[in-house]
């Protein structure tokens, strides 16, 4: 059984994230969406909220599980017996960052392979940060996130709708 870990802060999960997870779920036996508890960034949602939003977003995909974690990603990958780390690439800047991380991760966990998915064209521009900015300015985010995520953003006061 090949287990793949798709780690991130997912603050919140977007349709771009779901697209990557869905495509990965067709290649690997099990996908674990790992939601990191304390990324080095200002968060809109708590760790528990991010886990709940992601869990609801992928509930229709039977081989995907959402799990929280609060340790270094490669140690979490070992803990869940992941052989593959899944990442999405939107632009060349993503590639450069992922390349650096991949080299470090290979040193820390030589058995962990990196598989990068190119963002689908409709999501190449999408990031959680940009989506939250659009929402805060009253923009329409309904095509960018699942309905329950848009509602959660409105409840947080991020959206002016």
Q: Which of 17, 50, 87, 132 is catalytic?
A: 17
**Is 106 known to be catalytic?**
no
Nearest Cα to Cα of residue 24 among 65, 56, 52: 65
Of 132 and 3, the one with more pLDDT: 3
Q: Is residue 41 annotated as a catalytic residue, yes or no?
A: yes
Can you give the residue ranges of every domain in the chain?
A: 3-120
pLDDT at 158: 64
DSSP state string for 99-161: HHHHHHHHHH-TTPEEEEEEPPGGGTT--HHHHHHHHHTT---TTTS-HHHHHHHHHHT----
126 in Cβ contact with 16 (< 8 Å): yes
Concerning whether 128 is annotated as a catalytic residue, the answer is: yes
Nearest to 5 by CA among 109, 147, 146: 109
pLDDT for the residue numbered 14? 96
Q: Is the pLDDT of residue 92 over 80?
A: no
Question: How do residues 53-80 score in pLDDT, each as one tens digit?
Answer: 999 999 999 999 999 999 999 999 999 9
**Domain topology for 3-120:** Rossmann fold (3.40.50)
Annotated catalytic residue 90:
yes
Active-site residue, from 78, 90, 148, 154: 90
Q: Which residue among the candidates 41, 42, 60, 107 is catalytic per the annotation?
A: 41
| 161 band by pLDDT with thresholds 50, 70 and 90 | very low
Is it the case that residue 106 has pLDDT exceeding 80?
yes
Overall pTM > 0.75: yes
């Amino acid at each position: 059984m090949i287990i793949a870990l798709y780690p991130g802060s997912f603050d919140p999960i977007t349709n771009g994230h779901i697209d990557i997870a869905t495509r990965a779920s067709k290649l690997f036996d099990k996908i674990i969406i790992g939601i990191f508890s304390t990324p080095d960034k200002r968060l809109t949602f708590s760790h528990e909220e991010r886990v709940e939003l992601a869990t609801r977003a992928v509930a229709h995909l039977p081989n995907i599980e959402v799990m929280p974690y609060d340790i270094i990603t490669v140690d979490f990958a070992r803990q869940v017996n992941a052989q593959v780390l899944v990442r999405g690439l939107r632009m060349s800047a993503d590639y450069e960052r992922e390349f650096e991380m991949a080299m470090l991760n290979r040193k820390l966990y030589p058995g962990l392979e990196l598989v990068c998915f190119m963002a689908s064209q409709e999501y190449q521009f999408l990031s959680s940060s940009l989506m939250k900015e659009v929402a805060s300015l009253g923009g329409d985010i309904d095509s960018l996130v699942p309905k329950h995520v848009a509602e959660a953003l409105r409840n947080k006061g991020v959206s002016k709708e």
